Chain A
């Protein structure tokens, strides 16, 4: 179903664009981290949509990539949150 593929693909592109915009925009750090995750989710969606093969079965490689990507994104988010907390403590100490 090419329509399904296109729908998810475009959705992914939209999420990516929104997320990047949110990450680059001024705003609370937490908001930017969440926005970055949204953008990442958009990319993963593009990958998975591209792997959609209809009756022929899906291409497994992008799924493996997305799984790895999710792990990377979780770690990066953890690091960002830890930093944010450390900064808050440092600001309170001063």
Chain B
């Protein structure tokens, strides 16, 4: 095994092995568990750094293993997978630190961190998947690894949320599987290739290909929370904050969105999808989801629920960008995969801090919270402004390219109003929070002050992660055109997809 054939496998194993070991550690082995977690996260990041350097130099990395005739497990690094791998391994490291602080002293931590590692293993695996079968294997593994995390608290509400989550995702998984088998029947083993592989099929198969596309999109749309398949997401927010952060920013919804990008670009091919008339349908569904999620977010008083509906809305920007034919739309969608992740994880970290430190769960309890917890609230504000699309935060870059892409694709007539409406709605549900936090005085004592203010407003392990991710959101916006920036990499992806 050379590095070229083993690196993708090593990246997957770097979280799988610590995860499996952690399961069997006794609850009290706190120090060992923390070291293993950090070791895994740092090793993965180092391996990913090698991968990024290699891919940018034009090296190829691929691990392949036969499962059965016509079924291969293929881990392959191309520009798109590298983008997602970097995002997930970077945010995993930050979230691990956060989770260690967040779960300090709570029960079942071995179980939690075991599944937490499996969850990231599955995410990285599906990021590196080189064909549809491998993608499905890790997609289902992700479902299995996240279910216990959602149910972790063991309350009836948590178990109910987890059960609904499971019903949605397994049902979607079944349709995805059927679509993949059908597709393999028509086209043979389906590898992810720039520009897609289905263009060459004879025209009489096109009706079948449309049905398959529908099956695949429904299967992926469940995790990506596209309306009307989004019902599980607001209920799953009963999970502990680090889980919500990971679910909303990196793992689950991202896996769905990433899958949509993969299928459109690397299986069907964006041009072929447009020719089948499917691209517009996808765009309309995405637009409906964007507006619906934002409207629903307006009415939520529970902070995490508001953020959850915001995710429903924001993740569909990725699908929308995919649906805008032309490199600019592609750039906007792909870059939002990263930007939304960084910003949303910041928001969930901050929400977790409010709940853990002061017992604040509702928007109306947040009056004056900026003075009590300035660091967290600055981070929250940066991310919220980014979500609205205010420059120079990263979210602006995404929306700018989406707008350009819409003009370019000749769909400006309805896409631009959707973007504007969504931004107005984003402002309508985020700005009142910021107003309360910064400009209103605290009117009542905090519901339950668990962690008193000392030198820091809360513990370091809780404070630094949102500060770091908020800074990232700012930096990726400010230095959007620097080499190795998300925008730069998304441009590379777009140029390869369109063969420019």
Touching chains A and B, CB distance < 8 Å = no
